[in-house]
Amino acid sequence: MEIEIREIKNSEGKGENRKFVCVRNQHANTEKELVEEISRSCTLTRGDIMATYCATSDVGAEMLGENGCFYLPEIGHFKVSLKNDLPEGSSVEDAKAPHFSVRNISFRPDKSFLQKVAQKAKFSKSRYSSLSQSYTEKEMLDIVKQEVDKNSYVNTRILHLEYGLSNYMARKWLTYFVEKGILNKTGVQRSPIYVLAK
């Protein structure tokens, strides 16, 4: 797996730089790829495997729905986390079933499964760097105004690709200039653009 090492400057406001490692370019297998891998490692047919998938999905959903947990042998435990929609100011006695819903499902691997993964893991360092170029506020403001003059807008992608900022720092700078009233945020939520405030 390809790994990326990230350095966060002044981590937690303590003046210390911390390094984190994460997997880059994660690619989840397709259903077809998994079926083929399993069929090559045992005597089950592709039809048998698909039937087992469907049955496991149905049984797992039923057990999670009834008990809040589900154990898959040789793999690990799945557990439901809940969301509380009880109105603010309500007492515990006011709680009813409609006030609660499933938030997410967490996974805790078996120790043996985790060991298998650790034994099979192979690492290669990514050539991509997420270390962010440093700029002063004046330098960053000049860059932002320059890009708005050129493109009529600026966004995190431009600052990342053209000026070496990490996506995190690009968003942080743009948010900072919005809060100072220099920029306005517009566009769609997932890919916002920033223009000079009028």
Tokens, residue 112: 């043996």
Q: Are residues 103 and 151 in the same domain?
A: no
What is the pLDDT confidence band of residue 11, given thresholds at 50, 70 and 90? very low
Q: Based on the domain organization, do 73 and 163 belong to the same domain?
A: no
Residue 60's nearest CA partner among 107, 12, 1 is 107
CATH number at residue 142: 1.10.10.10
Q: Are residues 112 and 163 in the same domain?
A: no
Per-residue exposure over 38-77, b if at least 16 CB sit within 10 Å of its own CB, e if not:
eeeeeeeeeeebeeeeeeeeeeeeeebeeeeebeeeeebe
Return d(Cα 130, Cα 20) in angstroms, integer: 11
Residue 22 belongs to a domain = yes
- The pLDDT score that the predictor gives to residue 14 is 58
What's the DSSP call for residue 166? -
Considering the domain boundaries, does residue 176 fall inside one? yes
| Integer Cα distance of 23 and 86 in angstroms | 38
Is position 131 within any domain? no
Structural domain range at position 160: 137-196
The residues facing 78 across adjacent strands are 70, 107
- Boundary residue ending a domain (101, 125, 149): 125
pLDDT at position 86, please? 81
Domain final residue, candidates 76, 101, 125: 125
83 and 9 part of one domain = yes
**For residue range 95-134, what is the model confidence (pLDDT) as tens digits?**
888 888 998 999 999 999 999 999 998 877 665 555 566 7
Here the CATH number for the domain that contains residue 31 is 4.10.520.10
Residue 174 contacts by C-beta under 8 Å, 6 or more apart in sequence?
A: 144, 154, 155, 156, 159, 183, 185, 194
Percent of the chain with pLDDT over 90: 55
Give mean pLDDT, residues 81-106: 85
Phi-psi region of 15 (alpha: psi -120 to 50; beta: other; left: phi over 0): left
Indicate if 23 and 92 belong to the same structural domain.
yes
The pair phi, psi for residue 116, each rounded to 5°, is -60, -45
| Per-residue confidence (pLDDT) for residue 26, from 0 to 100 | 65
- What pLDDT, on a 0 to 100 scale, did the predictor assign at position 23? 74
Mean pLDDT computed over 41-55? 94
- Give how many domains the chain has, as a whole number: 2
Residue 16 and residue 104 in one domain: yes
Task: With cut-offs at 50, 70 and 90, classify the pLDDT of residue 29.
Answer: confident
> Does residue 13 belong to any structural domain of this protein?
yes
Same domain, 120 and 141: no
Last-in-domain residue among 125, 150, 177:
125
The mean per-residue pLDDT over the stretch 166-180 comes to 91
pLDDT averaged over every residue in the chain: 86
Q: What predicted TM-score, i.e. pTM, was given to this entire model?
A: 0.55
Give domain status of residue 130, yes or no. Answer: no
Split at pLDDT 50, 70, 90, the class of 182 is very high
Is 132 among the domain residues? no
Question: Are 20 and 98 part of one and the same domain?
Answer: yes
